[in-house]
């Protein structure tokens, strides 16, 4: 080893601070003195040939404060006067240019937890924040291309989403915007909680049986909880409906261009009407004839007919006979077991014991996936349901995944749809307080794929939402 810097001992009284030192350092003197006390002198003061400080003004003050008489120094004697002057600035400036690496600093401080570093006032800077503006711009361009950014959380509360929903409603899809004039979309039994229980209550009052239709039209309003998101119209119609924006989005994203869609639990008209309006062919099956009739009526009112739509009344357990053929996309929203009871038909899934419900549900999915072409997607919108007695979740989302996987379509995307709050804020406090149940304000949008994922690139064309919008909504 060779000596490169010569450290000399200089009397403190012989050292002269630079009169034009542009750094204010008083705030650091105590901390430097503390450092010298703790660690001794490891960094000498740098002096020019006249003993004027080049680097180390704070150290000089700290030594003075500590009462040192002489201190270790190095001489910058190889530099010109101008270089000395410049180095005085540069030395400070280069120190300023470094930054703390927050994660590493935090780790080092944690490792030194027993060492008293309080005098040095370490603060871990905030972890670097992403450039919010840039993120928003990226998000915007993604949305321009794909309608909404293709992320695993879709937020139906966002203004853009709500506005687009209104656009769909303005085509004539019924909504709470047209409550008074709304026609019956189908049986209210499907959406009104405890419909049959209330119907029986009314029958007991009347002393005779009534039809579901009569109950809907005359009495249901009196039983509907005040804060329900489902509203009964003047004609006994219901307002709860499938989100048309989610519907078009799933078609755009996961159905082949102009492809054939199969929906084994169609319920209302939304998925059929959105399909036809966006250029797809749709086949929906539902057990309830009155729902099928109402759907055809809606299609006639909005589209002037149902050219690209086939609504079939029947049990989807027989899907292969009822809707024989090959399909490009399966899209549905099944009964979430007993969350809503749709009818008293024994084949209605919402009317079964859980074990029978699951077995039938699996068979229906199996039948549908068999008819799904190779290299195609399937999408089920589901939400978990609690056991009414125990409050435990039934794990219905996982059951749906297992059913598809057994049928030969594997889980490819999982999307959380953040749903509007509705009446949840009024209900959530009580249910949380009583049973620590978290208010549910999301649905799971499960996307499956059958076939070889390498084929996706050739099978699905590039998406350009601008073209689609021009075709569909500005017509």
Ligand X SMILES: C[S@@+](CC[C@H](N)C(=O)[O-])C[C@H]1O[C@@H](n2cnc3c(N)ncnc32)[C@H](O)[C@@H]1O
Residue from 156, 285, 341, 397 binding ligand X (CB under 6 A): 285
- Dihedral pair phi/psi, residue 37, rounded to 5°: -65, -40
378 binds ligand X (CB under 6 A): no
Q: How far apart are CA 122 and CA 184, in angstroms?
A: 68
Q: Which stretch binds ligand X (CB under 6 A): 42-50, 136-144, 347-355, 392-400?
A: 347-355
Tokens of 198: 């209330």
267 binds ligand X (CB under 6 A): yes
272 binds ligand X (CB under 6 A): no
361 binds ligand X (CB under 6 A): no
CA atoms within 13 A on the CB side of 332: 22
Tell me the longest C-alpha to C-alpha distance in the chain: 115
- Dihedral pair phi/psi, residue 17, rounded to 5°: -65, 150
Residue from 74, 147, 333, 397 binding ligand X (CB under 6 A): 333
Residue from 44, 236, 335, 367 binding ligand X (CB under 6 A): 335
287 binds ligand X (CB under 6 A): yes
Q: What is the DSSP string of 317-352?
A: GGHHHHT-S-EEEEEE----TTSS---S-TT-GGGS
Residue from 145, 179, 221, 347 binding ligand X (CB under 6 A): 347
Q: Least distance (Å) from ligand X to the CB of residue 334?
A: 6
263 binds ligand X (CB under 6 A): no
236 binds ligand X (CB under 6 A): no
Q: How far apart are CA 15 and CA 398, in angstroms?
A: 77
437 binds ligand X (CB under 6 A): no
| Residue indicated by tokens 């953040």 | 418
298 binds ligand X (CB under 6 A): no
* 183 closest CA partner among 30, 300, 11: 300
315 binds ligand X (CB under 6 A): yes
Q: Least distance (Å) from ligand X to the CB of residue 424?
A: 17
Q: CA-based Rg of the chain, rounded to a whole angstrom? A: 36
Q: How far apart are CA 475 and CA 467, in angstroms?
A: 12
Binding pattern to ligand X, positions 178-197, x when CB under 6 A?
A: ------------x-------
User: Residues 376, 406, 250, 270: is their CA dihedral positive or negative?
Assistant: positive
Q: How far apart are CA 88 and CA 97, in angstroms?
A: 15
| For ligand X, the closer CB: 217 or 348 | 348
Q: Least distance (Å) from ligand X to the CB of residue 189?
A: 9
Residues facing residue 415 across a β-bridge: 445
| For ligand X, the closer CB: 54 or 365 | 365
265 binds ligand X (CB under 6 A): yes
Name the site residues for ligand X (rule: CB under 6 A): 190, 240-242, 265, 267-268, 270, 285-288, 291, 315-317, 333-335, 342, 347-350
């Amino acid at each position: 080893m060779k000596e490169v810097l010569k450290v000399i001992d200089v009397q403190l009284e012989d050292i002269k601070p630079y009169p034009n030192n542009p750094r204010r350092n008083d705030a650091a003197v105590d901390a430097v003195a503390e450092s010298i006390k703790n660690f001794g002198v490891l960094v000498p003061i740098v002096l020019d040939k006249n003993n004027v400080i080049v680097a180390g003004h704070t150290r000089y003050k700290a030594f003075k404060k500590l009462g040192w008489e002489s201190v270790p120094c190095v001489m910058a004697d190889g530099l010109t006067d101008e270089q000395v002057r410049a180095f005085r600035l540069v030395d400070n400036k280069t120190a300023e240019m470094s930054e703390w690496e927050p994660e590493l600093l935090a780790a080092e401080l944690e490792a030194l937890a027993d060492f008293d570093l309080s005098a040095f006032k370490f603060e871990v800077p905030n972890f670097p924040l992403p450039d919010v503006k840039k993120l928003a711009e990226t998000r915007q361009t993604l949305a321009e291309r794909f309608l909404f950014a293709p992320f695993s959380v879709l937020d139906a509360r966002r203004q853009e989403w709500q506005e687009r929903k209104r656009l769909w409603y303005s085509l004539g899809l019924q909504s709470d915007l047209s409550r008074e004039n709304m026609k019956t979309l189908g049986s209210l039994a499907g959406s009104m909680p405890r419909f049959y229980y209330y119907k029986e209550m009314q029958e007991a009052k009347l002393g005779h049986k009534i039809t579901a239709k009569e109950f809907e039209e005359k009495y249901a309003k009196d039983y509907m909880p005040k804060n329900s998101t489902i509203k009964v119209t003047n004609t006994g119609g219901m307002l709860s409906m499938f989100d048309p924006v989610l519907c078009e989005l799933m078609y755009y994203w996961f159905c082949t261009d102009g492809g054939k869609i199969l929906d084994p639990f169609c319920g209302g008209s939304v998925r059929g009407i959105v399909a036809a309006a966006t250029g797809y062919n749709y086949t929906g099956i539902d057990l309830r004839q009155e729902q099928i009739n109402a759907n055809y009526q809606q299609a006639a009112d909005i589209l002037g007919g149902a050219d690209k739509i086939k609504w079939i009344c029947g049990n989807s357990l027989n899907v292969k006979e009822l809707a024989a053929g090959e399909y490009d996309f399966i899209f549905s929203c099944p009964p979430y077991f007993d969350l809503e009871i749709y009818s008293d038909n024994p084949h209605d899934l919402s009317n079964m014991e859980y074990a029978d419900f699951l077995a039938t549900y699996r068979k229906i999915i199996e039948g549908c996936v068999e008819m799904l072409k190779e290299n195609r997607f399937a999408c089920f919108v589901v939400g978990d349901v609690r056991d009414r007695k125990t409050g435990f979740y039934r794990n219905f989302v996982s059951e749906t995944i297992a059913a598809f996987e057994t049928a030969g379509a594997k889980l490819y995307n999982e999307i959380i749809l953040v749903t509007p709050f509705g009446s949840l804020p009024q209900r959530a406090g009580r249910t949380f307080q009583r049973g620590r149940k978290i208010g549910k304000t999301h649905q799971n949008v499960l996307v499956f794929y059958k076939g070889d994922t390498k084929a996706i690139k050739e099978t699905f064309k590039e998406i350009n939402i601008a073209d689609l919008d021009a075709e569909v909504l500005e017509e």
